[in-house]
Amino acid sequence: PPSAVWTALTQATSSCSCRTLQSWFPVLSWLPHYNLRWLQMDLVAGLTVGLTTVPQALAYAEVAGLPVQYGLYSAFMGCFIYCVFGTSKDVTLGPTAIMSLLCASYMGSDPVYAVLLSFLCGSIQAAMAILRLGFLLDFISYPVIKGFTCAAAITIGFGQVKNIFGLKNIPQQFVLQVYYTFHRIPEARLGDVVLGLSCLALLVSLTWMKTDLVSPSPEHPTYVKVAHGLVWGCATIRNVLVVIMASCVAFSFEISNHHYFTLTGQTAKGLPPFKPPAFSETKANGTIIYFKEIVLDLGGGLAVIPLMGLLESIAISKAFGSQNGYRIDTNQELFAIGLTNIMGSFVSAYPVTGSFGRTAVNSQTGVCTPAGGVVTGVIVLLSLAFLMPVFYYIPKASLAAVIICAVAPMADWRAPLQLWRVRKLDLLPFMVTFLVSFWEVQYGIVGGVLVSGAMLLYHMARPHIEVHDHGVLVMDLDSGLNFPATEHLNQVIYSQALHVSPPRCVVLNCHHISSVDCTVVHELKDLLKQFRLRNVSLVFSGLKNSVLEVLLAGDLPGLKYTDSIETALQILSGNTHFD
């Protein structure tokens, strides 16, 4: 009946509308099912991650070359945006070591550049999501990623040695940084060295303690379980504990008028104003730098930073999605990161992405939904609102220790060994990326991608062709036939079949060919003419229907094709005929 049809159509439309809304606003897929147990777990996870985020955000702002409050400005917007638009329950967005290092390479410690960079990167990332351009990330290979992360870990870690020693005015370029750090060791401040090394030792001890901690069995007494929980909790929030203890030590010396430590110093108080990013900058001498000049100064950063931010976050979300049994929507993740950076620029944030360390903490503490990020964001906001005067007394050596311990696991020394075992040639893009990154990080990434791309193109242009002699030559292509490979195919056929005496027939096994283009059709047409001039045959075997349609449309003279190699051999031996 018409009424039943109308009801079915209404229900189908409603269902499609609901699915569309959920795809754009993933919060709608879990919010209706939210319960008290999820709330409890999200509160615990959000609080734990928040206590980890605050000291790390302060430290990563140092890596970016910005005042420490900019780390906190960048740490809260992603918590709220991702709760609504993100598809992973575990991922936390905020400042990271790698993004801070990349940003420092382009914005020159200028907050105006940093905030505008966040807006532009976010716009690029959101546009990529809307245009479904996430596939571009696939061109950054595993060896390039590993080479970059290993080099970044060393660059960031060594860059903090100057703060452990209390040295100032050390160049940013890595080679010069190494030279001047060792050259000026005699100028090291004893207080900073002792405090920095003590913080490092404590952080390493707590990290090992958490790694080796054995969960108590149900038979253990209650006090053992409580003690285990306390130790695990202290080890989890080790960064904030170390920073608090170091600040207390520094404060006690400062009030007694003993200035033994290099402190963070004066920071801006309160929450950042909500305003659009500045599209120009007026220098102290009155010089105005306009938007076009800023964009030219940022240069390649407008390509490198958005791509690396997306790559880092999506790799993390995929890893934890696989570990915890759920799938993510890549393009929705791109949109969430892009929107975070756009909105972050309105609160003076610099570009952010997913943090592996904080995401791991979030997952381990049992977060159930992205709502845990809201708790983390509130903690950061409370820190900005009430604790900024306290941050004056945070020693830079303690923040340096936090950074060094955070980036140390990124230096994966097993990666080159794994590449050597799997495919030795993959060490080439790894080494190019790794070594060039010590000169300039962005050039390391670009160099690695170019080498990987050249290797990929070479494989496409020079596919392996196996030649078997059955009285008739049978040639097997081990991959597809793209236009760069036609010249190589011609060389093999001419050398093996046409430039010998007498010329020989050839069966070309096309089983692996899934598509051909106009260049391939043109080259095959010329090849068939050469075979006809020499009174021998070129037979195509195992053509897919889509490829056959293109070849027929190309009007190839004397085109011969069969379903199998055996049939082609029988035809060429004269035992049967073409249909």
Q: Which two tokens stand for residue 222?
A: 């209650």
Taking CA atoms, 141 is separated from 54, 194, 306, 312, in Å, by: 32, 42, 16, 12
Report the C-alpha gap between 227 and 492 in whole angstroms. 73
Q: Is 471 left (phi over 0), alpha (psi -120 to 50) or beta?
A: left
In DSSP terms, 477 is beta-bridged to 465
Q: Summarize pLDDT for 268-281 with one digit per residue, the tens.
A: 778 999 999 999 98
Rounded to 5 degrees, φ, ψ at 74 are -90, -5
pLDDT at 224: 73
Q: Summarize pLDDT for 345-395 with one digit per residue, the tens.
A: 999 999 999 887 788 878 877 889 999 999 999 999 999 998 888 888 888
Question: Who's near 129: CB < 8 A, 6+ residues apart?
Answer: 331, 332, 334, 335, 338
Query: CA angle, corner 466, sides to 462 and 467, nearest 5?
Result: 125
Helices (H), 286-355: 291-298, 301-324, 330-344
Alpha-carbon dihedral sign for residues 35, 37, 43, 49: negative
Strand arrangement of the beta sheet that strand 538-541 belongs to: 465-469, 473-477, 506-509, 538-541, 560-562
Mean pLDDT of 52-70: 88
Q: Helices (H), strands (E): how many in the chain?
A: 26, 9
Helix 441-461 and helix 97-107, axial crossing angle in degrees, nearest 10: 100
Helix 111-130 and helix 301-324, axial crossing angle in degrees, nearest 10: 60
Q: Is 258 left (phi over 0), alpha (psi -120 to 50) or beta?
A: beta
Report the C-alpha gap between 393 and 490 in whole angstroms. 73
Q: Summarize pLDDT for 30-42 with one digit per residue, the tens.
A: 888 899 989 988 9
pLDDT category of residue 52 using cuts at 50, 70 and 90 = confident
Considering the chain, what is the average pLDDT of its residues? 85
pLDDT at 378: 94
pLDDT category of residue 463 using cuts at 50, 70 and 90 = confident
Mean pLDDT of 417-428: 91
CB 166 within 8 A of CB 236: no
Whole-number percent of the chain with pLDDT over 70: 94
pLDDT at 12: 47
| Higher local confidence (pLDDT), 176 or 411 | 176
Q: Summarize pLDDT for 551-575 with one digit per residue, the tens.
A: 888 888 778 888 888 888 887 776 5
pLDDT at 217: 67
pLDDT at 81: 95
